[in-house]
Structures are given as structure tokens and as C-alpha cells.
Amino acid sequence: MNKERYNIVIEEAHDGWYSINLEDHHGNWTMVYEETLEQASNYARMWMQNAEERKNSKDIEARAIKEMNELDKKAGILTGFSDGLD
């Protein structure tokens, strides 16, 4: 079972802005700045609500990259230390 655990830090930054540092229970993180404390709180709330959707998107991206690497290996593009991304 996956526990929903978040690390949320909202601090005064500069010129009246707030920095928001967020990490979700999947290890995804972000840092943004918002102009008001209300905007900072709203951003954090929305970011937490999207944790599962964000994880699913990253899982799809990871599978696609893995499949592209497998195709590149079959085509002989990935050899030795070359990743084929140059």
C-alpha cells in the first residue's frame, strides 16, 4: 500500500513573493514562486491532487524511452557507451 506523504515548504522569498517546495509520495518534486500566500497554498493543493496523474504520465514516458532504446539497440544505434541521443 502506498502512503500519501507530501513534503510542503512555503516560505517568504523576496519582494513579497513566496517560494513553494513540494515533494510527493512518488518522489516527484518541484519548486515555484507565487505572489501571494493564497496563490502559494492553491498551487500546493492542486499539485498534491495531481500526484497520481503525474506518476502515470512519468511511467508512460519511462516505458516509451525504454521501448525506444530497445528499438535503437536492435537497429545498432546503441553500442558501447553511446546512448544515441547525440
Ranges of each domain in the chain? 7-75
Mean pLDDT by 10 residues, the chain (86 residues): 80 94 94 96 95 95 91 79 59
Joined together, the cell numbers standing for residue 82 give 553511446
**Crossing angle of helices 37-49/51-75, nearest 10°?**
60
Phi, psi of 76 (to 5 degrees): 85, 10
